[in-house]
Amino acid sequence: MSKAKVATQLPALDFQVIFESVPGHCLVLSTDFTILAASDMYLGTTMTAREEIVGHYVFDIFPDNPNDPNANGVRNLRASLEKVIKTGEMDDMPTQKYDIRRPKAEGGGYEERYWSPCNVPVKDKDGRVEYIIHCVKDMTEVVTMSQQGKAHDKEVGEITQKLYIANKELSESRAFLKNIINTVVDPIFVKDRKHRWIEGNNALWALFGKSENDLLGKSDYDFFPKEEADVFWQKDEEVFNSGQVNINIENFTDASGKIHIISTKKARFIAPNGEPILVGVIRDITELHEMEAKLKESDEARLRAIMDHSGRPVYIKDLEGRFIQINSELISLMEIREEDAVGKKCSDFFPKEFAEKLRQNDLLVIEQCAAIEFEEKVPHKDGSIHTYTSVKFPLFDANDKIYGVCGISTDITQRKEVEAKLLHYTWELERSNQELNDFAYIASHDLKEPLRGLFNHATFLLEDYKDKLDEDGIRRLNRLSQLTRRMEQLINDLLYYSRLGRTELAIRETDPNDIVNEIKQMLDSSMPDHRTSITIPKEMPVIVCDKPRITEVFRNLITNAIKYNDKPERKIEIGFIPEVNTRNGIEKNVFYVKDNGNGIAEEFHQDIFRIFKRLHNTSRDKEESTGVGLTFVKKIIERHNGHIWLESEPQKGSTFYFTLGSAV
């Protein structure tokens, strides 16, 4: 069987097992001094277990002996490790006193130990220290014997021999350590100027599936296909000739025929004999490329799922306007297969005037490199023209270079139709309002004119013919005058009500406490015998409103509370409640006017707000009231985005509650 065939049948090396079996006392540390691995000999000598120290901070595991005031092992070791990280060079330390802890099973405490340490950096492909190999030799016995002064000629010879052996073992350990470094990092190779391999590490042999003897002294052409070897030779020559570091992605075929994708970093050095050599570091990125391909496939599937479940047409175009991908919604809309759309442009599916407008919008997104919303019109297969609102945004590759445009469109045809109807209704409303204004003008002039004539004629008849009229005639003329005045008041109230819903509110900050006080002063002057106690238990907050209108609300509610109250002592309470529980839920920022008057039966709680509706049909009420006061109140409150309701029972008084939207 040939050597090459034997090499291909070797099992893959487990480098962690190799390191743990190293015939030396070794630790692998991270650059923050966390223990990453330990050799079996190190664990045995330091009386530790791998699971107890790996993953822990080295100085937590090996602190200074607290019983030794002169202990400086931690300080010295830390300084050496920091030096290695800073310089990137190996550091040999002198023999150190560094006591170790005994396990509790062996009595605990600390055991005196002396060590000869060496710290070696392990660098990544960019030359930065990635790990530190900490290797020690237990010198306790040697130092102890020296300190005890028991040395005599024979013993001195034995000690000298032990020191020699210890130094030799340390040297061998260091040499082995270098091999370990070569083993645990990426494959490394060295070539001479004739492109022959003159050095390599175990990782290199494993990657190529060859033994060290098979490779050393040979070139790439001895093992790889000519097309691959030509590439290696060319890249090596570039480094030899330029002296510049070269990083490449290359392919090579191993002994089993498997193609690998590798990242190589090559640099030129001058050997001690003055000859140029090439040093290269290889990283096998085959699995990474395979993983990226799977991730890309997964991302594409995820993107497809998102696009297909968006419920609206989604598409991706390249910079030339060709479809790269479309979702199921657009496929259904265009009644085509995706493969028939990919690579085509809008001009292949839509009339020229529509396609050109769509392309202009795409170009604007590309030019501005920003998301833009457009309103676009697109013909459907049935000949109908639909309106879409399309959000289009640029797509960038890994180098932040724009490569396409993505669009998400929403059919707003029905919304546009509704908007058109709303526009028509708005026009109709404006026309209706104008007619209402015209009616108001007619009512305020033309309708009032006959009433004034009737009133004047009735007055003239009473003045000029009173002595000729009997008592019934005089009574009828007086009644005619009253009715004409009442009719004029009804017209005025109707006009005022119509204007309440159309007149702009004069919004400003208003203190409702001042409003109530002004109404009280007005009542005291106009109704000195009103016998009413009007109180505000707690000051109400300042509000933002139309002051004259809100004054009218409070005046109507207060005068009604006085007018419809037959108690000897009338009481009215006015206030503000931050929160009220009602049958319809919680209401916030509520004003109220409460009285001890006649009260209102529940079946009339809604009727009292209807225009010209009166609950009290006495002749006095008919003459003095048109039944619009509470209608005005409700309208004014609704104009302030609020609402009004009441709680009342006959003979138990009434409480009117109202809100004013966000006025508070």
The pLDDT of residue 626 is above 80? no
The pLDDT of residue 179 is above 70? no
Burial of residue 231 (number of CB atoms within 10 Å: 0-12, 13-18, 19+):
middle
pLDDT tier for residue 12 given thresholds of 50, 70 and 90: low
Per-residue confidence (pLDDT) for residue 437, from 0 to 100: 64
Percent of the chain with pLDDT over 70: 82
Q: Which two tokens stand for residue 62?
A: 């090996």
**What value does the mean pLDDT take over residues 517-534?**
82
The pLDDT of residue 493 is above 70? no
Q: Which of 12-16, 75-79, 639-643 has the lowest mean pLDDT?
A: 12-16
Q: Which two tokens stand for residue 293?
A: 């391909």
Greater confidence (460 vs 490) lies with 460
How do 91-92 and 96-97 pair as beta strands? unpaired
Most confident of 248-257, 607-616, 633-642: 633-642
Most confident of 25-34, 169-178, 381-390, 615-624: 25-34
**Half-sphere exposure (Cβ direction) of 595: Cα atoms closer than 13 Å:** 25
Per-residue confidence (pLDDT) for residue 328, from 0 to 100: 83
**What value does the mean pLDDT take over residues 322-329?**
86
The pLDDT of residue 643 is above 80? yes
Residues 661 and 640: their CA atoms lie apart, in Å, by 6
Comparing CA positions, the residue from 214, 185, 212, 186 lying closest to residue 199 is 212
Q: Which of 476-485, 545-554, 562-571 has the lowest mean pLDDT?
A: 476-485
**What value does the mean pLDDT take over residues 637-658?**
90
Q: Which of 81-90, 436-445, 454-463, 626-635 has the lowest mean pLDDT?
A: 436-445
Per-residue confidence (pLDDT) for residue 147, from 0 to 100: 66
pLDDT tier for residue 611 given thresholds of 50, 70 and 90: low
Average pLDDT across the chain, whole number? 82
What would the pLDDT profile of 217-234 be if each residue is shown by its tens digit? 899 898 888 888 898 999
Residues 38 and 50: their CA atoms lie apart, in Å, by 7
Per-residue confidence (pLDDT) for residue 177, from 0 to 100: 45
pLDDT tier for residue 513 given thresholds of 50, 70 and 90: very high
Greater confidence (60 vs 171) lies with 60
Greater confidence (154 vs 533) lies with 533
Residues 298 and 8: their CA atoms lie apart, in Å, by 35
Per-residue confidence (pLDDT) for residue 3, from 0 to 100: 42
Classify 149 in phi/psi space as left (phi over 0), alpha (psi -120 to 50) or beta: left
Q: Which two tokens stand for residue 14?
A: 């487990």
Per-residue confidence (pLDDT) for residue 13, from 0 to 100: 61
Identify whether the C-beta of residue 488 lies closer than 8 Å to the C-beta of residue 626.
no
Per-residue confidence (pLDDT) for residue 639, from 0 to 100: 86
Comparing CA positions, the residue from 143, 114, 122 lying closest to residue 19 is 122
**What value does the mean pLDDT take over residues 177-196?**
73
Per-residue confidence (pLDDT) for residue 440, from 0 to 100: 64
Q: Is the pTM of this model over 0.75?
A: no
Q: What residue type is assigned to position 408 of the chain?
A: I
Helices 512-526 and 547-563 pack at an angle, to 10 degrees, of 50
The pLDDT of residue 373 is above 50? yes
Q: Which of 40-54, 212-226, 577-591, 622-636 has the lowest mean pLDDT?
A: 622-636
Q: Which of 133-142, 143-152, 348-357 has the lowest mean pLDDT?
A: 143-152
What would the pLDDT profile of 458-469 be if each residue is shown by its tens digit? 788 888 887 888
Per-residue confidence (pLDDT) for residue 7, from 0 to 100: 43
Identify whether the C-beta of residue 373 lies closer than 8 Å to the C-beta of residue 360.
no
Per-residue confidence (pLDDT) for residue 622, from 0 to 100: 47
Q: How far apart are the first and last CA of the chain?
A: 98
Residues 15 and 206: their CA atoms lie apart, in Å, by 11
Percent of the chain with pLDDT over 90: 28
Residues 589 and 660: their CA atoms lie apart, in Å, by 8
- CA-to-CA separations, 62 to 89, 94, 115, 563, in angstroms, rounded: 24, 18, 13, 96
Dump the DSSP string for 153-204: HHHHHHHHHHHHHHHHHHHHHHHHHHHHHHHHSS-EEEE-TTS-EEEE-HHH
Comparing CA positions, the residue from 446, 478, 445, 444 lying closest to residue 461 is 478
The residue ranges of DSSP E strands in 522-637, in sequence order, are 532-535, 543-546, 570-582, 585-595
Q: Which residues pair with 189 in a beta bridge?
A: 200, 280
Per-residue confidence (pLDDT) for residue 575, from 0 to 100: 95
Comparing CA positions, the residue from 68, 227, 198, 58 lying closest to residue 134 is 58
Neighbouring residues of 396: CB distance < 8 A, sequence distance ≥ 6? 402, 403
pLDDT tier for residue 592 given thresholds of 50, 70 and 90: very high
Residues 613 and 616: their CA atoms lie apart, in Å, by 9
| Cα 122–chain centre separation | 41
Q: Which long-range contacts link 415-421 to residues 24+ away (Cβ below 8 Å)?
A: 416/387
- CA-to-CA separations, 121 to 5, 24, 137, 378, in angstroms, rounded: 36, 17, 18, 67
Comparing CA positions, the residue from 430, 369, 429 lying closest to residue 394 is 369
**What value does the mean pLDDT take over residues 38-52?**
91
What would the pLDDT profile of 53-106 be if each residue is shown by its tens digit? 999 999 999 999 999 999 999 999 999 999 999 999 999 999 889 999 999 888
Please tell me whether residue 300 adopts helix, strand or coil conformation: helix
Per-residue confidence (pLDDT) for residue 8, from 0 to 100: 45
Per-residue confidence (pLDDT) for residue 610, from 0 to 100: 76
Greater confidence (191 vs 144) lies with 191
| Cα 216–chain centre separation | 57
Per-residue confidence (pLDDT) for residue 58, from 0 to 100: 92
* Phi and psi angles of residue 630, each rounded to the nearest 5 degrees, phi first: -70, -25
The pLDDT of residue 307 is above 90? no
